[in-house]
Amino acid sequence: MPNGKRSTLAVVTRDRADILQRCLLPTLAAGVAGGHPVLIVDQSNDEQTAQLVDGLPGVTYLRSGPGLSVGRNAAVAATTTELIAFTDDDVSLPAGWLDKIVALFAQHPDAGAVCGRATVTSTGMLAPGVDAAVVRWPANPFGLGSGFNMAFRRAALADAGTFDEELGAGARYRSAEDSDMLYRVMRSGWSIVCSDEITVVHDDWRGRREELALHFGYGLGAGAQTAGHVRAGDRIAGRLALREAGRHLVTAARAVAMLRLRVLPLQWAFLAGLATGYLRRPRH
């Protein structure tokens, strides 16, 4: 892959050519990557995605086995740039997004990762997340950043190890590959820069039932992530998960008090997933 830039943008996609075409590709075609190389890691069962990206300037196509973490590990292995940024196929990127990420890494030489926020298409509002800050271990990794808007220094990934392939979409525990990696990067001695200057637009295409399943999946991955660390002797990970559970309980109580009935089921779904993921993940 060309190495003239400091960073590569990597996108893992599976059987969502229509979403890729509607959301991400138009912003890539407009040159929002700023000349940085782009790697599409395709796990689809058909050739639609390959046909969509064929011939796009600056875009390299790669096939991988299923699983988001598998695809992200493949992207890291296939690239050599100092920085690697990740986004999803249902995201639109603003102009200069990747250049701003590179600038943040330059401003913070001890940063192992940079995380941004998202504006949700259905509301136009900023999605929940962490306010601008520089955080270090043992900070709570949940909510620090999301896989659709995060980037890593390759040296930090070398210290933290590969993405956990039991976590993330397409794996047994279908989320938390992002929070798990952020936690391990911090534990390796690197800081995390959380910024509200690198906001992307996230397409809100899921219905209510899918939204509940998504939040259960978030909890499932968080529980499995925590169990993996606790059973390896990291008690701090367990305390952080309890803190996260408490945060969701507080949100649930406030939802009841304020009659925000749409919010309440999402909190219970997360908490149910958290307990399930923790109990299901076996000791290694």
Nearest C-alpha neighbor of 49 from the set 75, 77, 86, 11: 11
Domain residue spans of the chain:
7-205, 209-280
pLDDT for the residue 3: 42
Q: Is the pTM of this model over 0.85?
A: yes
pLDDT for the residue 205: 62
Rounded CA separation 211/274 (Å): 16
Q: Do 75 and 10 touch, CB atoms closer than 8 A?
A: yes
**What angle is formed at CA 184 by the lines to CA 229 and CA 10, rounded to 5 degrees?**
125
pLDDT < 50 stretches in the chain: 1-3
66-95 pLDDT per residue, tens: 999 999 999 999 999 999 999 999 999 998
Secondary structure (DSSP) of the chain: ---SSSEEEEEEESS-HHHIIIIIHHHHHTTTTTT--EEEEE--SSSHHHHHHTT-TTEEEEE--SSHHHHHHHHHHH---SEEEEE-TTEE--TTHHHHHHHHHHH-TTEEEEE--EEETTT-SBPS-PPSEEE-TTS--TTS--TTSEEEEHHHHHHH-S--TTBSTTSSB-S-HHHHHHHHHHHTT-EEEE-SSS-EEE-----HHHHHHHHHHHHHHHHHHHHHHHTTT-HHHHHHHHHHHHHHHHHHHHHHHTT-TTHHHHHHHHHHHHHHHHHHSPP-
pLDDT for the residue 149: 96
CATH of 7-205, one of 3.90.550.10, 3.90.1150.10, 3.30.420.40, 3.30.70.20: 3.90.550.10
pLDDT for the residue 2: 42
pLDDT for the residue 152: 98
pLDDT for the residue 283: 66
Q: 84 vs 36, 66, 102, CA distance in Å?
A: 10, 20, 10
